[in-house]
Amino acid sequence: MTSGVGAPNRASISARTLRTDRWWLPPLMTNLGLLTFVVYATVRSFMGKWYWVADYGYLTPFYSPCLSESCLPGSSHFGTPLPELPGWIPLGFVALPFLLGFRLTCYYYRKAYYRSVWQSPPACAVAEPHGSYSGETRLPLIVQNAHRYFFYVALLVSVINTYDAVAALTHGLGLGNLVLFTNVVLLWAYTLSCHSCRHIAGGRLKHFSRHPVRYRAWTLISKLNVRHMQLAWTTLGTLVLTDLYVMLVASEAIPDLRFF
């Protein structure tokens, strides 16, 4: 190993780390959390059923927007410009790759999976297993620089999810509506707390005083931005819970609690 802790100008210590605390716990928890979400989202995206509750207008975010003729009647809020799809293509395939790209290139998730999945490094003062480091300057990690473009698509998907939640109100009000709206509000909070969003609002300005509106937006986004990690995890949870609720109601495993 010629770089990192194995570089010739570093102290020669054979142990991987001298730490005696449970440094391995945070990366383990991160791996378990990410794995749980990936497995759940993959299974649900390919399931192809229980994504739409016609009586109450509930559409799970994993299938939104539903744009093909394979979609259940009423679930396509933006029409069906696409033909019937074979069963192995998820009905939400239009948005899913961009949402995946948005999360994968997110500054917080990068930190999380670089440390936990790639162990690079797994914790402070714990040697990483890799012998060299080329950063994000060449393939494949140079793709991380596309994050700002995924952000624009994620904004559009947040608008679509908001439309879905508002459209469901035309069927009355039930617990599912509150679930959909909670998810949408948190998705907006996560999306707007993005580092790229903060830079778009207030970056490259030499004088905040000459741009009061952008300064105000940057100030508000900065307040959200300090919670970006919490919002990243919270929205993974609300996405799963929202989809789970829609699935349970759609499959008639539970009734929706109706208020009026």
Residues near ligand FES, by CB under 6 A: 106-108, 147, 151, 194-196, 228
Q: How far is the CB of 108 from ligand FES (least distance, A)?
A: 5
Q: How far is the CB of 219 from ligand FES (least distance, A)?
A: 18
Nearer to ligand FES, 40 or 107 (CB): 107
Q: How far is the CB of 98 from ligand FES (least distance, A)?
A: 12
Nearer to ligand FES, 230 or 251 (CB): 230
Nearer to ligand FES, 108 or 188 (CB): 108
Helix axes 228-250, 25-47, angle to 10 degrees: 40
- For residue 41, what are its two tokens? 């989202």
Nearer to ligand FES, 115 or 147 (CB): 147
Q: How far is the CB of 123 from ligand FES (least distance, A)?
A: 22
Closest CA to 50 of 247, 253, 239: 247
Nearer to ligand FES, 77 or 147 (CB): 147
Cα 135 to Cα 94, 118, 151: the distances in Å are 30, 13, 22
Three-state secondary structure along the chain?
A: CCCHHHCCCCCCCCCCCCCCCCCCHHHHHHHHHHHHHHHHHHHHHHHCCCCEECCCCEECHHHCCCCECCCCCCCCCCCCCECCCCCCCCCCCCCHHHHHHHHHCCHHHHHHHHHHCCCCCCCCCCCCCCCCCCCCCCCCHHHHHHHHHHHHHHHHHHHHHHHHHHHHHHHCCEHHHHHHHHHHHHHHHHHHCCHHHHHHHHCCCCCHHHCHHHHHHHHHHHHHHCCHHHHHHHHHHHHHHHHHHHHHHHCCCCCCCECC
Q: How far is the CB of 161 from ligand FES (least distance, A)?
A: 15
Q: How far is the CB of 187 from ligand FES (least distance, A)?
A: 11
Nearer to ligand FES, 76 or 196 (CB): 196
Q: How far is the CB of 237 from ligand FES (least distance, A)?
A: 16
Nearer to ligand FES, 195 or 211 (CB): 195
Q: How far is the CB of 39 from ligand FES (least distance, A)?
A: 22
Nearer to ligand FES, 106 or 224 (CB): 106
d(CA 243, CA 61): 7
